[in-house]
Amino acid sequence: MPIKPILDVIKNSLDKQFTIEFPEDNEEKADNYKGLHRLDLDTCISCAACQRICPNQTIEMVEVPSKGNRKMPQINWERCLFCALCEEVCPVHCLILTKDTQYEVYDRRDLLKRPEELR
């Protein structure tokens, strides 16, 4: 009978929703959780220690025009292991890994972050 499928659709459309919205508040992260990088441009001394220690060659030193063409770290989150070796080796602690995990992008080129974008 063609009426039964129509009745099923009507019945199911009136039922409670099965999906839930993505929560605005994320779960509390552990103290040792490592997320996205943050760079303090004023503190960075352009030593390139972070670039040398990175096991995946994720970090590349690039010139920053606003800082007198000093070279500062550019990070490719697509390749990053979030191992925090760059954070540990930084002598002035200008490069840190936060607990932020919001790095969804539509274009993989947006995963390459210039020093100015790491604030």
The CATH number that applies at residue 34 is 3.30.70.3270
Segment-wise mean pLDDT, segments of 10 residues, the chain, 119 residues = 81 73 71 88 93 94 90 93 93 92 85 90
Q: Report the number of distinct structural domains present in the chain.
A: 1
Residue 21 lies in a domain: no
The confidence score (pLDDT) of residue 8 equals 84
Residue 68 lies in a domain: yes
The confidence score (pLDDT) of residue 7 equals 85
The confidence score (pLDDT) of residue 102 equals 79
The confidence score (pLDDT) of residue 26 equals 66
Residue 8 lies in a domain: no
* Angle at CA of residue 42, ends 53 and 44, nearest 5°: 15
Of 84, 95, 116, 115, nearest in space to 43 by CA: 95
Give the C-alpha distances (Å, rounded to integers) separating 109 from 14, 44, 68, 85, 100: 43, 25, 26, 24, 20
Query: Residue ranges of the alpha helices (H) in 1-119?
Result: 3-14, 49-53, 85-89
List the domain range (segments joined by +) for residue 96: 29-117
The confidence score (pLDDT) of residue 69 equals 87
The distance between the two most distant Cα atoms of the chain, rounded to a whole number of Å, is 77
The confidence score (pLDDT) of residue 20 equals 67
Residue 101 lies in a domain: yes
